[in-house]
Amino acid sequence: MKTEREPREMNRRHFLQTSALAASALALGLASKRSAAAESPKPGEAAVPQVTLNNGVKMPVLGLGTMTLQGDVGVRCVADAIALGYRLIDTATIYNTEKEVGEGIRQSGIKREGIFITSKLWKSDMGYEQAKRGLQASLDKLKTDYLDLYLIHRPAGGDWRGSWRAMEELYRAGRIKALGMSNADFAQMDELLAKFEVKPAVHQIETHAFFQEGPAYEALKREGVQMEAWAPFAEGRHGMFVDPTLTAIGRKHGKTTAQVCLRWHYQRGIVAIPRSGQKAHIAENLRIFDFELAAAEMRAIAGLDLGVTQFPEWS
Ligand SMILES: NC(=O)c1ccc[n+]([C@@H]2O[C@H](COP(=O)([O-])OP(=O)(O)OC[C@H]3O[C@@H](n4cnc5c(N)ncnc54)[C@H](OP(=O)(O)O)[C@@H]3O)[C@@H](O)[C@H]2O)c1
């Protein structure tokens, strides 16, 4: 989907400098609110562990991405995923899948409160008034009266500060349970953390074995902002599903390459939202909580980092 990704400028140095200065204070304060440690499910709960965000909201560590899953396929995938145990569904205005997500949830028979819905404000709705209208349009399509997480999808250009102020109001009014960013640069994250009342709880960025985003990973951890990976398989680019290292590790554990990728995210404390239009893959992607990658395997995967986006068309 062409409109999904666009150039991103990462002012890493600024965010990292700020983060380094704040690190000792955070170690005493914010770090206690850190979300990286996942909590195991209790008997009777869905089989996906949760993290606690910096505002106390709980978020499943694994969810279903829905980009391109439009129409009946989307409804079926969402309903199937929930039946299998997924409780986090990721959508966005620009994906045109919010209606499908709402319908899939209704068909699943699970109560709204049992599902964590993320949606995203698109650039055309940027600004204070527009953001309020943007959220309402998403709620209408989903047929719900609140979102669990609302992200500014791509804050490059436009009045993203105005959007955030509107989102803060909607958060206080209970229409959004947690606020976050996607594809923000380091200066924007700095500004949000320093100058706004409601801090970002989540930052959703491209992250996978071939683009591990180490500096962002460290900085977000220090700041108590939950990192969330979009394209956790890099959409299979650069041969991710047949990578020899990932495949060999999987073989050792009796797991697929996809499961190794997702387990690696989980062990790093990153929320991942793999997309699949196939029920077998949706089920497979959930079976990652019954094995553990050894330290040497984590190091081997760390060695796969190419340090560059696998979506250069958007850089
Ligand atoms: N915030 C942002 O800017 C942004 C950008 C991109 C994506 N996202 C979100 O992140 C989600 C995930 O990213 P993505 O959709 O770009 O890509 P992805 O999850 O990295 O990869 C999806 C691809 O992997 C395949 N796949 C899934 N499970 C598999 C398995 N077990 N074995 C083999 N192949 C498998 C799928 O094919 P099948 O359908 O055949 O299984 C599909 O072609 C999106 O859907 C969206 O919700 C956000």
In this prediction, residue 78 carries a pLDDT of 98
In this prediction, residue 17 has a pLDDT band, given cuts at 50, 70 and 90, of very low
Asked if pLDDT for residue 314 goes beyond 80, the answer is no
Would you say how long the chain is, in residues? 315
Q: Average of pLDDT values for 52-81?
A: 98
Round the average pLDDT of the chain to a whole number and report it. Answer: 88
- 40 occurs within a structural domain: no
State the distance from the centre of ligand 1 to the C-alpha of 8, rounded, in angstroms: 20
For residues 162 and 131, the answer to whether their CB atoms sit within 8 Å is yes
Give the position, in ligand 1's atom list, of the atom nearest the Cα of 284: 31
Cα angle, residue 241 at apex, residues 41 and 221 outer, rounded to 5°: 45
In this prediction, residue 313 carries a pLDDT of 77
- 257 occurs within a structural domain: yes
Q: Average of pLDDT values for 193-207?
A: 98
Cα–Cα distance for residue pair 154/204, rounded to 1 Å:
10
pLDDT per position as a tens digit, 72-114: 999 999 999 999 999 999 999 999 999 999 999 999 999 999 9
Has 95 been annotated as catalytic?
A: yes
- 163 occurs within a structural domain: yes
Cα–Cα distance for residue pair 134/93, rounded to 1 Å:
8
List the CATH number of the domain containing 140.
3.20.20.100
pLDDT > 70 fraction of the chain, expressed in percent and rounded:
85
Q: How many domains does the chain have?
A: 1
- Annotated catalytic residue within 86, 95, 150, 171: 95
Asked if pLDDT for residue 252 goes beyond 80, the answer is yes
Q: Average of pLDDT values for 290-297?
A: 98
Say yes or no: CB of residue 250 within 6 Å of ligand 1.
no
- 89 occurs within a structural domain: yes
Q: Average of pLDDT values for 206-219?
A: 98
* CA-based nearest residue to 259, from 297, 226, 228: 297
- 33 occurs within a structural domain: no
Substitution candidate for ligand 1 out of 275, 278, 310 with most atoms within 8 A of CB: 275
Look up the domain containing 249 and give its range: 64-310
- Cα 120 to its chain centre, rounded Å, is 11
In this prediction, residue 315 carries a pLDDT of 64
CB atoms within 10 A of CB 303: 9
Q: What is the DSSP string of 27-92?
A: HHTGGGG---S-BPPPTTS-SS-EEE-TTS-EEESB-EE-TT--HHHHHHHHHHHHHHT--EEE--
Asked if pLDDT for residue 174 goes beyond 80, the answer is yes
- 228 occurs within a structural domain: yes
- In single-letter form, the type of residue at position 70 comes to Q
pTM above 0.75, yes or no: yes
- 58 occurs within a structural domain: no
For residues 67 and 120, the answer to whether their CB atoms sit within 8 Å is no
* CA-based nearest residue to 206, from 221, 216, 218: 216
In this prediction, residue 18 carries a pLDDT of 36
Cα–Cα distance for residue pair 280/288, rounded to 1 Å:
14
Q: Is 118 helix (H, G, I), strand (E, B) or coil?
A: strand
More confident residue, 36 or 67: 67
